[in-house]
Structure 1
Amino acid sequence: MAYDSLQRLLLDNLTTAVLLLNAELRLEYMNPAAEMLLGVSGQRSQGQFISELCNESPDGLPALRQAVASGNPFTKREAQLITASGQQLAVDYAATPIPGLSSFLLLLELHPRDRLLRITKEEAQLAKQETTRLLVRGLAHEIKNPLGGIRGAAQLLARELPNEGLKDYTNVIIEEADRLRNLVDRMLGSNKLPQLTPTNIHEVLERVCSLVEAETQGKLALERDYDPSIPELLADREQLIQALLNIVRNAMQAIIEQKQPHPPGRILLRTRTLRQFTIGHQRHRLVCRIEVIDNGPGIDPALQDTLFYPMVSGRADGTGLGLAIAQNILNQHQGLIECESQPGRTVFSLFLPLEQGASTP
Structure 2
Amino acid sequence: MPRHQQRNLQWELIALLGKRLSLVMTSPRWPRPVHAMRTRRSSSPARRGSSIFVVIYHQSRSQQPQDKGRVMERHEIEAFLTLAEELHFRRATERIGAAPGRVSQIIQKLERKIGAPLFERTSRRVSLTPLGADLRDELLPAHEQVQRAIAKAVAAGRDQRRVLRVGYSSPMAADLVLKAAERFRGSYPESTVQIHEIQLADPLGPIRSGQVHMQLTELPVREPDLTVGPVLFTEERRLMVPRGHRLAAYESVGLEDLADATVITFTGSIPTYWVDYHYPTQTPLGRPIARVEAGYWQEALSMVGAGRGVTFACARAEQYYSRPDTVWIPYRDGPLIEYAVIQPKAGLTSHAETFLRLLQGTDPRRRGDRTTARPA
| TM-score after normalising by structure 2 | 0.20
Which of these two proteins has the greater Rg computed from alpha carbons?
2
Instruction: For CA contacts below 8 A with separation 6 or more, give which structure has more relative contact order.
Output: 2
| TM-score after normalising by structure 1 | 0.20
